[in-house]
Amino acid sequence: MSLQIRGSVISTERENGTSMMAEDVIIFRYPKEEVTSKSIIFVQPNETAVVVIQGQVQAVLPPGTHNVQSPQNPLSSFLSRFRYNALPFDTIVFYASTTRHEVRIVGVSQTQDLVPLTYEVAVYYRVTDPSKLVFNVQFGGNVFKDADLARYVSPMIDQEVSSIINYVKLYEIFKKLTDVTNAVSAGLKPFLTEIGVELISVRVIRLLPQDDELRRIIQLRDLGLDVEKAIRLYLAGSLTSKNDPASVNMALGIPYYPNLSTLVNLPDNLIRVNLRGNDQEQKQQ
């Protein structure tokens, strides 16, 4: 998807009025070959522009219109200081989003009793120092998105989540949600601050066993049933899905004695004959 340029205006807008700064884009790298000394850099209200020349940040431009050759523009000072008539070829403009963003990190850890748990953590943040962020992330293309940041911080989140639940048994895990949230926040906040990102909040969305059967039993237990009855009701539901007549007995906790004809593939008459024969032999004895 190429960016169309109207005159010498450098912006995140395309010709059709849409923006390169989609809701999941944190940084957009403008094609450097289009930046000239006669350019006008246009910054939207929810953006900040970082101009990097020869590997150094020469300007951080707030929302508005910025003429490169204007005396008030820090780039014009760069040009006059080095007596350049045009910006060098290695001039790059990065646009950073200043709105609130959200990423969700999903992973797997385990409890003290070795039960695998799937967790999902939502992280809310905003960019406060775009120049730091530009120099601390790697670009696979012209954009750096929420998903890229999620991959960047997921090892740290996995470490903080595991530092709590690895030492807790399964039946106590839901009492530790606050501890997990605090651990992730404490570990993530200084890390994000170093790259120019402010952590707004952290929320644990999901923390459940990987095994569907165990998860269902825990849900029944949390409804107020004891563990034995919760297991029985789960098994009753499984039997019902298979049209097994023993499902009602399983739910009630009553033994199920099926008709013998349902256990062996024999005619009913033959079964009755065998039963009568057994009765006669017992009388003779």
pLDDT in the model for residue 185: 95
Which residue is listed with tokens 């790259």?
A: 195
| 247: confidence class by pLDDT, cuts 50, 70, 90 | confident
70, containing H or E segment = none
Mean pLDDT lowest among 33-37, 157-161, 176-180, 279-283: 279-283
Residue 273 placed within a domain: no
Tokens of 184: 């992730």
Residue 284 placed within a domain: no
273 pLDDT above the threshold of 50: no
In the three-class reduction of DSSP (H, G, I as helix; E, B as strand; rest coil), residue 13 is classed as strand
Residue 203, CA distances (Å) to 10, 29, 123, 130, 200 in order: 38, 31, 7, 25, 10
pLDDT in the model for residue 32: 67
Instruction: Specify whether 106 is located in the same domain as 76.
Output: no
d(CA 81, CA 92) in angstroms, rounded, equals 19
pTM above 0.75, yes or no: no
pLDDT in tens, 198-237: 999 999 998 888 877 666 667 666 667 777 777 777 777 8
pLDDT in the model for residue 223: 66
274 pLDDT above the threshold of 50: no
CB atoms within 10 A of CB 160: 20
Tokens of 38: 């006669």
3 pLDDT above the threshold of 50: no
pLDDT top residue among 148 and 39: 148
- Average pLDDT taken over every residue of the chain: 80
Residue 272 placed within a domain: no
pLDDT in the model for residue 20: 87
Q: What is the CATH number of the domain that holds 192?
A: 3.30.479.30
Residue where a domain terminates, one of 62, 97, 132: 97
276 pLDDT above the threshold of 50: no
Cβ(144)–Cβ(25) below 8 Å: yes
277 pLDDT above the threshold of 60: no
Residue 272 is which amino acid?
Answer: R
Beta strands in the chain (DSSP E): 9-10, 25-29, 40-43, 47-53, 56-61, 64-67, 91-97, 101-110, 116-127, 143-145, 197-209
Residue 197 placed within a domain: yes
In the three-class reduction of DSSP (H, G, I as helix; E, B as strand; rest coil), residue 93 is classed as strand
d(CA 230, CA 224) in angstroms, rounded, equals 9
Residue 117 placed within a domain: yes
Instruction: Specify whether 178 is located in the same domain as 240.
Output: no
Q: Residue 187: CB partners within 8 Å, gap ≥ 6? A: 156, 157, 159, 160
167 pLDDT above the threshold of 90: yes
Mean pLDDT lowest among 86-100, 180-194, 246-260: 246-260
d(CA 2, CA 33) in angstroms, rounded, equals 13
Q: What percent of the chain has pLDDT over 70?
A: 73
Q: How many domains does the chain have?
A: 3
Q: Phi then psi for 183, rounded to 5 degrees? A: -65, -45
Which residue is listed with tokens 């349902």?
A: 262
Instruction: Specify whether 48 is located in the same domain as 69.
Output: yes
Residue 90 placed within a domain: yes
| 284: confidence class by pLDDT, cuts 50, 70, 90 | low
pLDDT in the model for residue 219: 65
Residue 124, CA distances (Å) to 66, 127, 145, 197 in order: 31, 11, 14, 10
> What average pLDDT does range 171-191 have in this prediction?
91
Residue 224 placed within a domain: yes
Instruction: Specify whether 226 is located in the same domain as 196.
Output: no
| 7: confidence class by pLDDT, cuts 50, 70, 90 | very low
Residue where a domain terminates, one of 44, 75, 97: 97
State the pairing for strand pair 9-10/40-43.
parallel
Cβ(17)–Cβ(44) below 8 Å: no
Instruction: Specify whether 105 is located in the same domain as 181.
Output: yes
Residue numbers of the domain that contains 86? 9-97
Number of H helices, E strands in the chain: 8, 11
pLDDT in tens, 19-46: 889 899 999 998 765 667 677 889 999 9
